[in-house]
Structure formats: C-alpha cells, structure tokens
Amino acid sequence: MAVIVFCEVKARASSEFGGPAAAVNWQKQRRLRRLAAAWLAANRPTGLVEVRFDVAAVVGARIEVFEGAF
C-alpha cells in the first residue's frame, strides 16, 4: 500500500511567541484536508493508498516532524 503524505511546514525564528506546530489550528487543518481532497480527485492514485497529514515544525535550525498530526 502506498502512503501519500501532505505535510504542512511552519517555521519560526524562535519559540518566543509559541511553537510553529500550534499555528496549525482547526481552520488550517480544514483547508489542508480540502486541498488534499482536490489533489486526490485530480490525480486519482491507483491501488490502495493511505493518506496522512504531517506537520513539520522548524525553530531556528531545529526541525521536528509530527507524523499523523491530524
């Protein structure tokens, strides 16, 4: 089974005003789901596929990836 991953990348120079992952709120998640549905409809992957939504949070030079974030 193939896995199609849609990844939202958020970056901050520092975590002084909150982490970048916190910026992926329910509105952003809803938008990403709609964009993913449109992409899947337009590209029609063959066979069984799993869809996963990840978030990559970048603070300075540090990167943290949250697989299956929502």
pLDDT at 14: 83
What residue has token string 């066979």? 47
Please give, one letter per residue, the 3-state secondary structure of 4-64: EEEEEEEEECCCCCCCHHHHCCHHHHHHHHHHHHHHHHHHCCCCCEEEEEEEEEEECCEEE
How high is the mean pLDDT in each 10-residue block of the chain (70 residues)? 96 87 95 98 94 96 96
Q: Which domain holds residue 34?
A: 2-66
Residue 68: the pLDDT is 98
Provide the domain count of the chain: 1
Predicted TM-score of the model (pTM): 0.88
